[in-house]
Amino acid sequence: MSRREEESLKRYKQWAAVILSLLLAAAVSACGNQGTAELAYPSKQVEYIVPYSAGGGVDLVARAAADYLSKEWGQPIVVVNKAGGGGAVGAEYALKQAKNDGYTALAVNVSNTTMLAAGMKAPPITSEDQVYAARIGKGTLAFAVKADAPWKDFAEFSAWVRANPEQLTWTSVGPAGFSAFGVAEWLDVIGADFAKTRMIVTKGASDSVPKVAGGHAILAVHTVGEIMPMLKAGKVKILAVSGDTRSPFLPDVPTAEEQGIQGLSVFWWTGVSFAKGTPASIIRKWEEAIAKMEKDPAFLQKLSEIHVEPAYAVSEAFTKETQAETTYYLELATKKGIRK
């Protein structure tokens, strides 16, 4: 190699070393900035997407949580309602269209996750599209009929339905809605023919419970909180609640299990999730803040006012529970012909 070539090679190596140093510095700076941004989170407004209309259970819990977290973090947590598609429209926006930087949170609930995945062969969103940060609250399932209905208790009503399934009309937002899974599980447990019953499609509890009160449907299956207004007005009566313990909001109403009908496990829940790829440090921050929130007397009072029970679950436990729930609902939906 000539001297000229040796000098050229030497200059090339020097320039290469300089460029490499600059690239490394830029990479370190970017990582440092990202880490600093995550530590400072939230440093601006966070959108808390509620995939339903204002006024429902998911919306009210989200607003109570947003109020608490805005004060806790000193940044506005703004609830944005994006209704449609049974909760799928807002969920798709939060999980697939918005950035996964932690500044778009989803008010996730049972209807737009486990039940959606079980009820549809090609659901628009699945658990794989999101990271479950924490569960916040739950609602007990209640079985309501018209106030002057002839059945004195749930056992008697269940016996009538088992003998006359074709006469049972019940309300739901659709074949894969929350009410549909509650009815399907109950009919499966008592041995009644689900296919012979008739579903009446409604817009939700605010539409379906009045239909039962007016005699246009026999049964409404919703959370205690959703039925409470018509119950207090004396328009409907609740024959039973699901689960193995009585609702704290209806201590005088026996569970289905107390009346000899065991195995009813469907319940309503809501929490917070984020798009896949959201930094783990941000998930932890929400997880820890919600844990603290669930010990706050003012927040717990707000939950009580809307008849929602606190049901905190950390990210890992929340994720495992939704996976198990999806498997169970998938089996039920397939068995009862709900899956479309």
The pairing of strands 77-81 and 220-223 is unpaired
CATH number at residue 324: 3.40.190.150
Inter-axis angle of helices 224-232 and 205-213, to 10 degrees?
A: 40
Mean pLDDT by 10 residues, the chain (340 residues): 53 48 44 55 97 87 97 98 87 96 97 90 90 97 97 98 98 85 96 96 85 97 93 97 94 96 95 97 98 97 96 97 95 91
Last residue of a domain, one of 259, 279, 302: 259
In a domain? residue 16: no
| Strand (E) or helix (H) holding 143 | strand 141-146
Last residue of a domain, one of 259, 277, 301: 259
Task: Check whether residue 147 and residue 131 sit in a common domain.
Answer: no
Task: Check whether residue 236 and residue 145 sit in a common domain.
Answer: yes
The count of domains in the chain is 2
Counting runs of H as helices and runs of E as strands, what totals does the chain give? 11, 11
Query: What pTM, to 2 d.p., does this model score?
Result: 0.83
| Strand (E) or helix (H) holding 114 | helix 114-119
In a domain? residue 4: no
Task: Check whether residue 298 and residue 153 sit in a common domain.
Answer: no
pLDDT for the residue 178: 87
In a domain? residue 52: yes
Find, among 170, 284, 158, 269, the residue nearest to 216 by Cα: 170
In a domain? residue 274: yes
Task: Check whether residue 273 and residue 309 sit in a common domain.
Answer: yes
Which residue range forms the structural domain that includes residue 281? 46-139+267-336
In terms of Cβ atoms closer than 10 Å to its own Cβ (0-12, 13-18, 19+), residue 149 is: middle
In a domain? residue 13: no
Angle of CA points 269, 188, 168, to nearest 5°: 90
CATH number at residue 159: 3.40.190.10
Task: Check whether residue 239 and residue 274 sit in a common domain.
Answer: no
In a domain? residue 8: no
pLDDT for the residue 207: 86
Find, among 233, 57, 223, 215, the residue nearest to 145 by Cα: 215
Task: Check whether residue 151 and residue 255 sit in a common domain.
Answer: yes
pLDDT for the residue 339: 87
CA distance between the termini of the chain: 74
The pairing of strands 130-139 and 104-109 is unpaired
Task: Check whether residue 54 and residue 144 sit in a common domain.
Answer: no
Task: Check whether residue 228 and residue 271 sit in a common domain.
Answer: no
Q: Give every strand in the sheet of 220-223, ordered side by side.
A: 220-223, 141-146, 236-241
Task: Check whether residue 176 and residue 319 sit in a common domain.
Answer: no
Last residue of a domain, one of 259, 280, 304: 259
Task: Check whether residue 132 and residue 146 sit in a common domain.
Answer: no
